Structure 1
Amino acid sequence: MDTQESQPKLYGSVLIKAKEIMDYLLMQPKSPTLAELSRGLNSSKSTTLKILKTMEHLGFVRREEETKRYVLGTQLIPYATKAISSFDIANVAQPYLEKLRDETGETINLGIPVNQRIVLVSKLESSNSIRLQSTIGGSMNMYSSAMGKAVLATYSADQLKRFLDTTDLRPVTQNTITNQNELRHDLKLIQEVGVAVDNEENEPEAFCLGAVLKKDTQLYGAFSISTPKYRMTPERRAGFIRMLLNTQHEIQEAI
């Protein structure tokens, strides 16, 4: 396939350069000077300054007078607020979750955290899957589900403490983790691997692997692969983990 034909023709090179400037400002731990911006973007000072002056006029960047450093402008805040409020993670994730369902032949779930529980917003069942108890709009415990534990693993120490102080770890099955220290240990393993495991902890005979959907500092939700326990061989588990992490990467890139 001709690479040029497969790529859309873009107009407005200045817009692209402005986006590169905003991306650079977003990623830097310290606000850069004009020289640092020019060097970091491999662009001449004169070109970079012209674009910065236009962006400053629009309120997209701001130059600190004392330090001569550039920061993102407050004019971007209402755009970000509107984008977040109108964002639907289910629509963005749908094609990737359908692909994951077809690859695994198992049920794929998508959930969001609401009031210290996970609310199921999408469920894609395969013809090979058994029917699980979860229903769209229903909720499940954070501490007993793969999606919930994946979310808990992103919490700060203070957030996790507040969750544990206000949540009674009641058993859902005989495998549910009900000890705070054991749960903390499980969450550390999830942080290391990037995948949460629900081994018959939320529903008997059901095995789930879950991962979060997070970009920058924004948590959008989590998704999981659910399968009957008897079908989860070590080989399938290793393959499912790879597919889960690949799907996570694809969705986060699309956000």
Structure 2
Amino acid sequence: MPTNTNKPYGTVLVKAKEILDFLGRTETAPTLAEISAGVTMAKPTALKVLTTMNELGLVRRDDQTKRYYMGTQLIAYAQKALASFDIAGTVRPYLERLRDETQETINLGVVRDDQIVLIDKLESPNSIKLQSIIGGTMNLYSSAMGKAVLAGYSSAQLHQYLSGRELKALTPATLTKQTALQADLKRIRQTGISIDNEENEPEVYCLGVTLQKSNHLYGAISVSTPKYRLSDERRAQFVRLLLNTQHAIESVL
């Protein structure tokens, strides 16, 4: 009788991950009832898993509000995981130079589970700070780094990504129709530069490129700036600097 060797072992571990994923998506700390509904898990089961996770430091329960937060134990895991990405250490000097040249925020992301995970962010020396945080995720279809990645997908990979996927609007400018997104991806393939024009965050403009060599995708980088600071001249400069940085990094990968 055939068996599925890829079937996850340990249903409690799967449930714990579902809870952590839900906590990572919520803007405010949820209650037991909200977690139960959010992950489609019976409340008694969710409570048992949460109680164990609380004992292990993976979540933290506020006894007064009865709300759950990410546990401090995850900080050490996150730091270790981020440190294990060789790409981050390799490209850091290049990103620092790009930040100094543009005076804007520079981002480094990798693809995980059909999303961009931000693994490094060099803040602009100017006063305005953007919403993205290291460890946070962005959609492939709405972010500059994500669209740069999608533009490099084969027809089969792109079809698999788009199949049955709802392109939800994050802002009024988000591309929510597959035809519009595919037309944008065609332009990216022609120019080598992806653009997020207030599609992921209002009033923020981003330019992105991938980092790849020998058909291996290492990640993507982007320049993010408040749109009001971006003149045509600065945009052209950013495109040139971003492409130069991409070429310099790929030469050492």
Q: TM-score, normalised by structure 1?
A: 0.65
Deviation, 1:186, is: 0.1
Indicate if the aligned counterparts of 1:107 and 1:225 stay in contact, CA closer than 8 A: yes
Matches within 5 A, 1:196-235: 196-235=194-233
What is the total number of aligned residue pairs between the two structures?
A: 170
Match in the other structure for 2:126: 128
Indicate if the aligned counterparts of 1:212 and 1:221 stay in contact, CA closer than 8 A: yes
Aligned amino acid, residue 102 of structure 1: D
Deviation, 1:166, is: 4.0
The percent of aligned pairs where both chains have the same amino acid is 60
In 2, distance between residues paired with 1:237 and 1:87? 30
* SS of residue paired to 2:185: helix
Match in the other structure for 2:37: none
Match in the other structure for 2:111: 113
Deviation beyond 2 Å, 4+ runs, structure 1: none
Match in the other structure for 2:158: 160
Deviation, 1:87, is: 6.0
Aligned equivalent of 2:178, options 173, 177, 180: 180
* SS of residue paired to 1:242: helix
Deviation, 1:140, is: 0.6
Aligned amino acid, residue 108 of structure 1: I
Aligned amino acid, residue 117 of structure 2: V
Aligned amino acid, residue 199 of structure 2: E
In 2, distance between residues paired with 1:97 and 1:184? 29
Indicate if the aligned counterparts of 1:129 and 1:227 stay in contact, CA closer than 8 A: no
Indicate if the aligned counterparts of 1:106 and 1:129 stay in contact, CA closer than 8 A: no
Deviation, 1:126, is: 2.0
* SS of residue paired to 1:227: strand
Deviation, 1:216, is: 1.2
Aligned amino acid, residue 87 of structure 2: I
Match in the other structure for 2:42: none
Match in the other structure for 1:29: none
Match in the other structure for 2:55: none
In 1, distance between residues paired with 2:125 and 2:217? 31
Deviation, 1:254, is: 1.1
Task: Please state if 1:143 is matched with 2:141.
Answer: yes
* SS of residue paired to 1:210: strand
Give 5+ residue unaligned stretches, structure 1.
1-85
Task: Please state if 1:104 is matched with 2:102.
Answer: yes
In 2, distance between residues paired with 1:170 and 1:150? 19
In 2, distance between residues paired with 1:129 and 1:195? 26
Q: 1:223 to 1:129 in 2, by over 3 A?
A: farther
Indicate if the aligned counterparts of 1:144 and 1:202 stay in contact, CA closer than 8 A: yes
In 2, distance between residues paired with 1:117 and 1:87? 17
* SS of residue paired to 1:223: strand
Deviation, 1:238, is: 0.4
For residues 160-201 of structure 1, what are the alpha-carbon distances to aligned partners after superposition, in whole Å with 9 as ceiling and x for unaligned?
001001421000000000000000000000000000000000
Give 5+ residue unaligned stretches, structure 2.
1-83
Indicate if the aligned counterparts of 1:211 and 1:248 stay in contact, CA closer than 8 A: yes
Aligned amino acid, residue 148 of structure 2: A
In 1, distance between residues paired with 2:192 and 2:127? 25
Q: TM-score, normalised by structure 2?
A: 0.66
